[in-house]
Structure 1
Amino acid sequence: MQSVIRIGSRESRLAVKQAEIIKDQIRRCDQTILVEIITMKTTGDKILDRSLESVGGKGLFVKELDQALADGRIDLAVHSLKDMPMEESSEFPILAYSRREDPRDVLIYKSEKKNREQRKGLYSQKQALL
């Protein structure tokens, strides 16, 4: 019988890509293991009309995945550390970290652009402060 590992992930393209990286790492270790990615929309993904801090903060991106772990629908969850609550869950501790990718970003625009007051794809409070 073939072993199956079910990876839980948010539905976003970035989250799925991160889950695929972990899937590939597992498969490199043991090619006999079947790895599935199960995606879900989290509460944090659904709230688009107000700041996440006003409705519960970063934990909103992990609640549904934690519940899927508790229910046995997934075997592990892949998260971006920036989406995790500051306090680690005793029920679902962080068991592994993947190798960090290059953290640098780049901004490219035409030099004749006159309106520089536009926000440039800022998503987090830390990014907005820059």
Structure 2
Amino acid sequence: MKSFAGMLAVVTGGGSGIGRELVCQLATAGCSVAACDWDAESIADTAGLAQERTTQGAIVSGHVCDVSTEADVQRFRDELLTRHATRHVDLVFNNAGIGGGASFLTASREEWERTFAVDWWGVYY
């Protein structure tokens, strides 16, 4: 790909870590970005940092969304289409994910279900 300028990217899990850096790098390259995270403060910080780095008129929007909840993902979709005044997305980065961090022998069923909900259903929705 020669240029990200003029494109629109969606980044889930954009509130911290790799997701945050990806949002910032895309914005620096002139790509508009709609990023989401379950943590409102983190995604607001990411959107602010990235918007400061934008080039070529790119727009960065931050959205609160729990990707394990289909209704949240649909609301995010509707928000980003309205905010970016488009019906088209060029790039999707399914970055959101969590680690269970515990052994399947000792972790609770709820821990495993939450991990599966984010890491599997978050991509599906």
Report the TM-score, using the length of structure 2 for normalisation. 0.37
Greater helix fraction, Structure 1 or Structure 2: 2
Between Structure 1 and Structure 2, whose CA radius of gyration is higher?
1
TM norm structure 1: 0.36
